[in-house]
């Protein structure tokens, strides 16, 4: 049970997010209405994705310094989790957009940037698939991972702020801060971010262990 | 530091001599651009339809994008395999990546300007602020080359798979091309130049980020 504290934290926080997210009162706003509760699912997906991908990049840097395949495994599995979070973020966003903006895909710069970001990381998977040699694969994909992150950050943080966007806090839209003045939202929102991110790390850890076990079995054969 | 600059100079000279001696690559790239422009012209059936400036602009940059992808993809595979070991012993990797970026930038700028010439002859020329548009094209050449050179290096390690080059390169180049299209639209409409400063700054910022990252990462790529 040692080292399980953060998994327990994740479960408690997510349980709290589910219950509190549905039961606690939220501000009554035009258009948004009750869909504002999606704030606890959609936005933490993006936070989780960014944090997980940041972690993946850090592991890639670690790999380049250490040449230890364990670091590369973590980097690649964190990327997988990041992709999962990205897809869930896009899907939850599309559902939310259907009810608030009127259509699932409204050519919003942040939506587009998110889709391009996913293309980056799908390309990463393709790149990994095209090598036979493990060390070569690890090295080149670590380089691409760092490169992709460096290009991805301005894409998703700078470009949408320059153009008009439907998202809050972009292109002259008011940020979410004004809604958050209602402290009930914050009460669930911050725990949700921590909970989802921890869950992502948990996923990753399980997959890393699975891969290692598979490798061991292959070695025995 | 001084030696890096002289190495860059030597490499640039080597690359351009090599290109000039074996003209197939250069000519192929030129022919690719010209024939793509011509295919677009015929497909749009220009006699009966006048392209709107937005379509004209987007089509121009898409053509440039694919020309650049083609041009960059063989920037690391041109030379005989063994020669890389020779460079590896003689030169610093930083000099190699910087010289490749500069060389590709010059190559792409010249291809872009020739492409622009052919394009405006066959498909008309709605540009109102020509100097700004030319500046954007030059900026685009440099931007394409900085984004694609590193990607070409990465994909050349995977046995120069050309699908891989497109898959890795397209997302890398997307922020750049969106900014370029916006900027060149301003040039076409002849909007006051002060309005375009934001985009120019963003393009420079993206360039600086990408060149810095390439500068830092290329030594690792080179050693593998």
Q: Which chain A residues touch B155 with a CB distance below 8 Å?
A: 127
**pLDDT beneath 50: ranges in chain B:** none
Inform me whether the C-beta atom of residue A61 falls under 8 Å from chain B C-beta atoms: no
Question: What CA–CA distance (Å, rounded) separates B212 from B218?
Answer: 10
Q: What is the pLDDT of residue B43?
A: 85
Q: Which of A139, A150, A162 is facing B209, going by the closest CB pair?
A: A150
> What interface predicted TM-score (ipTM) does this complex get?
0.82
Q: How far apart are CA B34 and CA B27, in angstroms?
A: 10
Round the average pLDDT of chain A to a whole number and report it.
82
DSSP B124: -
Nearest residue in chain A measured CA to CA from B223: A139
Radius of gyration of chain B (CA): 18
Q: Which of B158, B159, B175 sits opposite A155 (nearest CB)?
A: B175
At A103, give phi and psi (nearest 5°): -150, 155
Q: What is the number of structural domains in chain B? A: 1
Q: Classify residue A9 as exposed, middle or buried by CB count within 10 Å of its CB (0-12, 13-18, 19+).
A: middle
Distance from CA of B52 to the nearest CA of A (A): 21
pLDDT of residue A52: 92
Residues 6+ apart with CB under 8 A from A161: A170, A171
**Helix (DSSP H) and strand (DSSP E) numbers for chain A:** 8, 0
Please enumerate in sequence order all residues whose Cβ is within 8 A of that of B178, keeping only pairs 6 or more positions apart, or say none: A159
Q: Does B164 touch chain A (CB under 8 A)?
A: yes
What residue numbers bound the domain in which B39 lies? 2-223
Which residues of chain A fall below pLDDT 50? 171-172, 180
Tell me which residue of A207, A204, A199 sits closest to A9, measured CA to CA: A199
Instruction: Name the A residues in 121-160 with CB < 8 Å from any B CB.
Output: 122-123, 126-127, 130-131, 135-136, 139-140, 142-144, 146-148, 150-151, 154-155, 158-159
Note the pLDDT of residue A171.
Answer: 47
B172 touches chain A (CB under 8 A): yes
Distance between start and end Cα atoms, chain A: 32
Torsion over CA: A41, A44, A50, A54 (sign): negative
Distance CA B117, CA A174 (A): 45
Judged by a CB distance cut-off of 8 A, whether residue B194 touches chain A is: no
Q: Is A116 within 8 Å of chain B by CB?
A: yes
Chain A to chain B Cβ contacts (< 8 Å):
83
Residue burial A82-93, b: 16+ Cβ < 10 Å; e: rest: bbbbbebbbebb
Out of B154, B164, B198, whose CB is closest to A143?
A: B154
For residue B177, which residues of chain A lie inside 8 Å, CB to CB? none
d(CA B223, CA A143): 12
């Amino acid at each position: 049970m040692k080292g399980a504290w953060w998994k327990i934290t994740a479960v408690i926080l997510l349980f709290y997010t589910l219950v509190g997210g549905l039961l606690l009162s939220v501000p009554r706003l035009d258009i948004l209405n009750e869909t504002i509760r999606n704030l606890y699912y959609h936005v933490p997906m993006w936070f989780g994705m960014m944090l997980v991908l940041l972690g993946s990049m850090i592991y890639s840097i670690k790999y380049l310094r250490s040449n230890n395949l364990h670091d590369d495994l973590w980097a690649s599995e964190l990327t997988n989790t990041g992709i999962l979070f990205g897809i869930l973020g896009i899907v939850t966003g599309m559902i939310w957009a259907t009810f608030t903006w009127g259509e699932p895909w409204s050519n919003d710069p942040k939506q587009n940037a998110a889709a391009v970001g996913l293309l980056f990381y799908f390309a990463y998977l393709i790149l990994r698939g095209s090598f036979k040699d493990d060390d070569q694969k690890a090295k080149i994909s670590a380089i691409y991972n760092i490169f992709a992150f460096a290009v991805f950050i301005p894409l998703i943080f700078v470009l949408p702020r320059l153009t008009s966007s439907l998202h809050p806090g972009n292109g002259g839209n008011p940020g979410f801060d004004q809604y958050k003045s209602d402290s009930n939202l914050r009460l669930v929102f911050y725990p949700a971010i921590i909970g989802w991110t921890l869950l992502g790390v948990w996923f990753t850890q399980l997959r890393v262990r699975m891969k290692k076990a598979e490798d061991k079995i292959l070695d025995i054969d | 530091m001084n030696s890096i600059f002289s190495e860059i100079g030597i490499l640039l000279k080597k690359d351009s001599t090599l290109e000039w001696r074996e003209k197939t690559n250069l000519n192929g790239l030129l022919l690719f651009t010209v024939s793509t422009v011509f295919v677009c012209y015929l497909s749009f059936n220009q006699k009966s339809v006048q392209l709107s400036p937005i379509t004209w602009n987007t089509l121009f940059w898409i053509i440039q994008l694919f020309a650049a992808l083609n041009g960059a993809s063989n920037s690391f595979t041109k030379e005989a395999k063994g020669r890389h070991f020779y460079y590896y012993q003689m030169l610093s990797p930083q000099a190699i990546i910087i010289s490749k970026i500069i060389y590709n930038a010059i190559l792409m700028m010249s291809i872009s300007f020739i492409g622009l010439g052919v394009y405006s002859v066959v498909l008309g020329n709605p540009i109102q602020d020509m100097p700004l548009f030319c500046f954007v094209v030059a900026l685009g050449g440099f931007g394409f080359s900085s984004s694609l050179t590193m990607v070409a290096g990465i994909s050349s390690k995977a046995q120069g798979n050309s699908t891989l080059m497109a898959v890795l390169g397209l997302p890398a180049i997307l922020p750049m091309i969106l900014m370029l299209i916006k900027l060149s639209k301003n040039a076409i409409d002849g909007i006051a130049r002060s309005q375009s400063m934001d985009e120019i700054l963003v393009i420079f910022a993206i360039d600086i980020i990408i060149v810095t990252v390439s500068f830092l990462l290329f030594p690792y790529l080179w050693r593998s």
